[in-house]
Structure 1
């Protein structure tokens, strides 16, 4: 804690912290207004905690508070997104914002405030995880569908173009690759998620199991075997079975994982088809509009690069990681695959010449 009269630099820093705390509290309230029940209560509690931090800086500033300052640009963007979307993307951004708290190394912030910020990060991580689980199926199909469409058809168009065939042939090949890939992706997503759901349903307890409770031999208590078969230790299984026999309620502990989110097979298939088709169309567009040779290659590469960077950044944001690292990784992988295909196509063209 600063001693004596604070310097102008310290006052500016405190005022900046105050502005950020106010902006973060407003963001959590905006998010809470779009939710109900437990999540709403959690977000309001976070807003109250930011309010306590705000009081700390107000106390330090005293009559030096001055006119309200705007928070950092990240905090302002977060607030804008919260007011308009309130989605898992905003929670992921909030998680990163909490992780960047400067209070850990600032002597003017209390240890309690620094600890609060660390806990806030974990709270937001938990809320973001719920949101990620809810959108996991369709989001995964959309992002990876678009990415696969971009990379596979870009590589296909480059590889075929490198052999020296006509522009018309490249367009036909690209559109065929779009349709075949989109249908394959949609079918794969539908089968994958349907199979996963069927596996989970086959692991669920039988609906008529409760009728056997009144006829079980309490001395043998074979109900304990059910729990042991599900991975519970022998002693714990016996205790759980005894409790169930007393209450005649067999539901406890016998269900599948409540947090297992499978998503809609039809929704994932449609998302996968649409986004793969969109991604696969991008590399073909320059050829459709008449561009040829190096010009078509350069335009395709630029368009594909922008979208690869965008999808990589989105994945980074939703996962709570660095969007820039994910974006660059996505770009390098996509361009790398296309470059290999282009070289192979060139070799085939030389061999056929």
Structure 2
């Protein structure tokens, strides 16, 4: 307790208590995340928790030090804390990024401008931390999402199209399994070739490791290293200055070989590309898992309209989940991404179903 007297109206004090609860909960989220990390990331997360503690102290000061009647934090923040305790994953950081962006302090007269600015910056800090996780996931995650979505949509379209023609259920089942295997193999092979090609292009653009052996012998005042930096995008004067600095450092250290990054301007991000084999395996498995869902009703002996409706419902649920997952990881609205995924997938399947009906009628 402090000697300060409570301020504001009853409505103000209720709002301050909600803010106080939210700040405590958000600080707890960052501490839970920090407990699962080390090094620089741990320090950053603990600094964010300390900043939330300063905001907590502000609202507690306005309440005269009286924190009685402080409610529980809102459901979203409590879920964040629970996820942070159990997983500490990129999903939690993505959700925390969205939470920081929704801060009401910019329009609240009792929040200081510094607090409002803090919340804006916190969002960028969390965005940066989340970006590290996204980069490590990017190649494999892209293959996984694309694979699952393609499996869901293409095999549902195939099953609905064939089923609508009125052929025997066994034919629909065989067609669905054939589509699963063909699509999964095609996706895996295509993803492997795509990622390997991308990595080879990046490697072809990287500096030649043998070229740096010439650097110790260059003239510090007149050398052509500046041309390398200009070719890689630096402005002329910046390239000249940087070249002189690199050569001077190499010669001062009397190195036989220059540092491996001496010729580089900016490193390309291999993590974001991923490896060909991991992308291929992810793409194969996720396509197969997605393509299996439309076939499940037929595997369990369902036929006719009941099988078609069941397959469609199962795929709709899966599309909503994959869309929401993409939304979470991208820091966008999970709901919007989920319904976008659903609309695209069901739209494509509906076209083939109508074609199947048309062919079934014409063949009858």
Matches within 5 A, 1:145-294: 145-218=147-220, 220-248=222-250, 249=258, 251-252=261-262, 254=264, 257-260=267-270, 261-294=272-305
Q: Deviations over 1:88-129 (max 9, x none)?
A: 111100000001111111111111111111111111111111
Residues 39-188 of structure 1 mapped to structure 2, 5 A cutoff: 39-188=41-190
Q: What is the root-mean-square deviation in Å for CA atoms of aligned residues?
A: 1.7
Q: Deviations over 1:71-93 (max 9, x none)?
A: 11110000111111111111100
**Cα deviation, residue 344, structure 1:** 1.2
Picking from 325, 330, 333, the partner of 1:322 is 333
SS at match of 1:132: helix
Q: Secondary structure at the match of 1:24?
A: helix
Deviation at 1:216, TM superposition (A): 2.8
Aligned to 1:89, the other structure's residue is in SS state helix
Instruction: State the Cα deviation string for residues 136-160 of structure 1 (Å, max 9, x = none).
Output: 1111111121111000000000011
Indicate if the aligned counterparts of 2:184 and 2:288 stay in contact, CA closer than 8 A.
yes
Q: Aligned partners of 2:6 and 2:363: how far apart in 1?
A: 84
- TM-score, length-scaled by structure 2: 0.92
Q: Any gaps of 5 or more consecutive residues in structure 1?
A: none
Return the alpha-carbon distance in structure 2 between the equivalents of residues 45 and 72 of structure 1.
23
Are residues 1:336 and 2:347 paired?
yes
- The equivalent residue for 2:255 is none
Q: Distance in 2 between matches of 1:10 and 1:162?
A: 62
SS of the counterpart of 1:232?
coil
TM-score normalised over the length of structure 1: 0.95
Contact 1:22 1:54 (8 Å CA) reproduced: yes
209-218 or 299-308, which moves further after superposition?
209-218
Task: Tell me which stretches of 4 or more aligned residues in structure 1 moved more than 6 Å.
Answer: none
Name stretches of at least 5 consecutive residues in structure 2 with no aligned partner: 251-257
Residue 311 of structure 1 is matched in structure 2 by: 322
How many residues were matched structurally? 351
CA contact (8 A) 1:305 1:331 kept: yes
CA contact (8 A) 1:149 1:277 kept: yes
Q: CA–CA distance in 1 between the matches of 2:122 and 2:294? A: 43
1:349 counterpart = 2:351: no
User: Which secondary structure does the structure 2 equivalent of 1:321 belong to?
Assistant: coil
Q: 1:95, 1:218 → 2: CA distance?
A: 47
Deviates more, 1:258-267 or 1:312-321: 258-267
Q: Check conservation: 1:11, 1:64, Cα contact below 8 A.
A: no
Distance across 1 between alignment mates of 2:6 and 2:91: 43
Structure 2: how far apart are the matches of 1:34 and 1:258?
28
Q: Write the distance in 2 (CA, Å) between the matches of 1:84 and 1:165.
A: 49
- Asked if 2 retains the 8 angstrom alpha-carbon contact of 1:205 and 1:255, the reply is no
Tell me which moved more, 221-230 or 5-14.
Answer: 5-14
Q: Provide the C-alpha distance between the structure 2 equivalents of 1:227 and 1:352, rounded to a whole number of angstroms.
A: 68
- Closer, same or farther: CA 212–162 of 1 in aligned 2, 3 Å: same
